[in-house]
Structure 1
Amino acid sequence: MNRIIEVCANSAQSCVEAEAGGAARVELCAGIPEGGTTPSYGEIVMARQSTERIAIHVLIRPRAGDFLYTETEVGAMLHDIQVAHQLGVQGVVIGCLTPDGDINEPLLDRLMAAARPLSVTFHRAFDVCRDPHAALELLIRHGVDRVLTSGQEATAVQGIPLLRELVSQADGRIVVMPGCGVRADNIARIESETGAREFHTSARRVVESGMIYRNERVPMGSCAVTSEFETVQTDRHEVARYVSRTCIK
């Protein structure tokens, strides 16, 4: 089976790069330093208009932080899913937990009902749930298509033991997709040691600003950044390295 690469795309331009590099799918999101939040209407529109073949899955996450949501936040998520339908994307990425660290089953029902027939991925809220094996069975029962996980560790490499267990437990009933710290120099190891076939990566590079005049005394946000005149963007050449099965030395 061919390796399937999903790129965490932070912009419509990153979607263009991911497609050019041979990725099968993108998770389109904003707020990468915050772990990802829902992208804007305009970003989704331009991602759709600027690509031809790649599947676009939109992250549905109203804020940074934990995955325990108020009813107001749930309302925003449901409206964002409706927008995803209207704009013709192929999937959404969702997640929700209870105060006790279990998957919030009633809320999952509501989100799934709103999302179908789009493809549904359960995001890394899974990595901070109390019982990953029970959570996996719950996601299978509810018809979730895949789960994005680092194996409940800081990186997918560290999470290989649990990832291996989850892939075996899933037994083809749901896709277990390793993500977080998946790189061209370790993807073959994760693949061989877990049996996973879909992988989530950013494949980004730093892009230098075209600005000539620069006032570097004035930051635009409170987040620590290297420079206001640098951004990050998916790189098609890096994506191609992940897609290739010869990217390991």
Structure 2
Amino acid sequence: MKLEICANSYQSATNAQNSGAQRIELCSELSVGGITPSYGLLKNISENITIPVNVLIRPRSGNFCYADDEFEQMKSDIKICKKLDFSGIVSGVLNEDNSIDIERTKELIQLSKPLSFTFHRAFDCVEHPKKALNQLMYLGVDRILTSGLQEKAENGIDLLKELQEIAKDNLIILPGSGINSKNAILFKKAGFKEIHSSASKEITSSSVFFDKTPQTVSDLENIQEILKVIKNA
């Protein structure tokens, strides 16, 4: 089983690599679900991190239905990631009713090639997950990051297993949200090939009056504990 670490900074990415994680999903502002990292962070990661890195392409927080200018921004960011030689793209687009925006998602997938394409947790907003899964298989998505439509993947594991059974070898169901060293074993026993975790800890609290969001980092020891559990299971 592979462990993908959701890294929100250069330090998080470095900790992921040094701990032995197999892949990174790179984003910024994890507290709002993640947005596209800055060019400076992308460049630093591309020059110094050697394990595979997939980059989140999400222009803002909020919903996953984007205006034309936002969509153009997403495409520009994908082109930058290709030039910087990243391994994959993590993105996706929904319609206003939270169904898969097939045409726009298809355009992002085609633009991303030859990089891999992960449809992100916008999937957890859809009303008909099995239909959405079949649509994404048809579009050629490589994996779907999902919590099984629950706040935590552990609570959505029954649906995750159903989706995995439907997907078979056509794409990878990547469970994520709330996965740690205490529950990672559940996903290995269920036969998942990969899991996703931030494995983070709070390192400081903001004293700025307009932003009380704590600063977190993917923690070396937390990552190693997850790896130990899934290796020895």
Structure-2-length-normalised TM-score: 0.94
In the other structure, the counterpart of 1:42 is 40
Q: CA deviation at 1:47?
A: 1.0
**One-letter code aligned to 1:139:** L
- % identical equivalent positions: 36
Answer whether contact 2:56 2:91 (CA < 8 A) is retained.
yes
Q: CA deviation at 1:244?
A: 2.1
The alpha-carbon distance between structure 1 residues 98 and 236, as it changes in their structure 2 partners (threshold 3 A), is same
**One-letter code aligned to 1:147:** I
Describe how 1:210-221 pairs up with structure 2 within 5 A.
216=207, 218-219=208-209
Q: CA deviation at 1:197?
A: 1.6
Unaligned runs of 5+ in 1: 210-214
Answer whether contact 2:187 2:195 (CA < 8 A) is retained.
no
Q: CA deviation at 1:37?
A: 0.1
Q: Could you say what secondary structure the match of 1:177 adopts?
A: strand
In the other structure, the counterpart of 1:212 is none
Matched, 1:204 2:200: yes
CA displacement, residues 49-69 of structure 1 (integer Å, 9 cap, x when unaligned): 2222x1111100000011111
Answer whether contact 2:31 2:213 (CA < 8 A) is retained.
no
Unaligned runs of 5+ in 2: none
The alpha-carbon distance between structure 1 residues 208 and 108, as it changes in their structure 2 partners (threshold 3 A), is closer
Task: Determine the C-alpha separation between the residues in 1 that align with 2:122 and 2:222.
Answer: 27
Work out which of the residue numbers 180, 187, 192 in structure 2 matches 1:190. 187
Work out which of the residue numbers 102, 117, 134 in structure 1 matches 2:131. 134
Q: CA deviation at 1:237?
A: 2.0
Task: Determine the C-alpha separation between the residues in 2 that align with 1:179 and 1:198.
Answer: 9
Q: Could you say what secondary structure the match of 2:89 adopts?
A: strand
In the other structure, the counterpart of 1:224 is 212
Q: Could you say what secondary structure the match of 1:159 adopts?
A: helix
Q: CA deviation at 1:248?
A: 8.6
Q: Could you say what secondary structure the match of 1:157 adopts?
A: helix
Task: Determine the C-alpha separation between the residues in 1 that align with 2:154 and 2:216.
Answer: 23
Q: CA deviation at 1:223?
A: 3.8
Work out which of the residue numbers 25, 29, 32 in structure 2 matches 1:31. 29
Task: Determine the C-alpha separation between the residues in 1 that align with 2:132 and 2:211.
Answer: 33
Task: Determine the C-alpha separation between the residues in 1 that align with 2:169 and 2:184.
Answer: 20
Larger Rg: 1
Task: Determine the C-alpha separation between the residues in 2 that align with 1:112 and 1:84.
Answer: 13
Aligned length: 233
The alpha-carbon distance between structure 1 residues 246 and 85, as it changes in their structure 2 partners (threshold 3 A), is closer
Task: Determine the C-alpha separation between the residues in 2 that align with 1:223 and 1:150.
Answer: 28
The worse-fitting range, judged by mean Cα deviation, of 198-207 and 114-123 is 198-207
In the other structure, the counterpart of 1:92 is 89
Q: CA deviation at 1:208?
A: 4.7
In the other structure, the counterpart of 2:68 is 71
